[in-house]
Structure 1
Amino acid sequence: MSDDIAHMVVCSPFFDKLPAPFNDLLGFCSFLNRRGTDSINIITRPPGADPQAMKLDVARRLAAQGVRIFIRASPYLHAKVYHFEYRKGYYRTFIGSSNFTVGGFERNHEVVSEVEGVGVGSACHREIARMEELGGAQTFEAWIVNGQPKGELGEI
């Protein structure tokens, strides 16, 4: 993450502690904001669904900081994608089995592949757009207005 990041997407169904120096999702997003990242999008399942889901108060705090959160209640979200778009015009996308947790990044044996490219027309970009589409996803604000609907597995 040495180059300037213009846009970041985190897609994970599970959030917990993160390795230092970030400690948690709030710390990670604060780090990106301090570095001047223009936008941060998070794609996840309903906050507060269970102990491993994003906490509702964390979602509220992130939304207040301008982080766009997309809730995928159905079908069940199991994807893990971490997408960095750099100001220099290239991107890096990490796709694999690692949840956005210390377990996913340090403790567990996980597989993650890195995809690199230039521009915004890649299969990675198309899949992220599909996961953010309203119809399959709701913004956090719409999810709140709609009464925080349960996920496909009856979560919440």
Structure 2
Amino acid sequence: FFVPSAEKILRGSSGIKDTIHWERIARAYQRNVRYAYELYNKRFITDQLNNIDLMPFELRITEINLETVAHQLELKTTGLLNEFRQIREQAYTCITLGSLRELALLKEKVDKYKRHADLSHEAILEVLAHNEDMIGMYLTDNRKRDIADHTQVELLLEACTKEMAEVRRSISDLS
């Protein structure tokens, strides 16, 4: 879900491996966009034209984006858990240098995705901590808002914080 840093891109060698790597990133990106599109349509597009949603468009998109991040981290956590169970079952029969190496690599993956979840959670908490930032999230609403008039954003971010905290807990259970 997360795009590699510029350092990784510049350090990597060119060739077939890079092509395969970027194709995998492109497919993951397409899956994420498709998931967000389907979620948006399911949640906000209805057959009834008289259904008026009072939540501004930018908040709906923010909700979908944050939910997509949480969903992708949950999927990755499930994948890592399945991988761990498989390695553990193999290690029960015979502990080898190979199984220990696989466990070490899996630990690196878990740590990486734990960092992603922590960063996502901290970013949401950072916005929640500043009323001015929450007011700034209203882009299409053409009215002046009081500094305390950010109830919708606050509720949305608090719900996302709870969801991200659950993802962090499940990732922490793996490590």
> Where is the helix percentage greater, Structure 1 or Structure 2?
2
Do they fold alike, i.e. is TM over 0.5?
no
> Where is the strand percentage greater, Structure 1 or Structure 2?
1
Q: TM-score, normalised by structure 1?
A: 0.24
Asked which structure has the greater CA Rg, the reply is 2
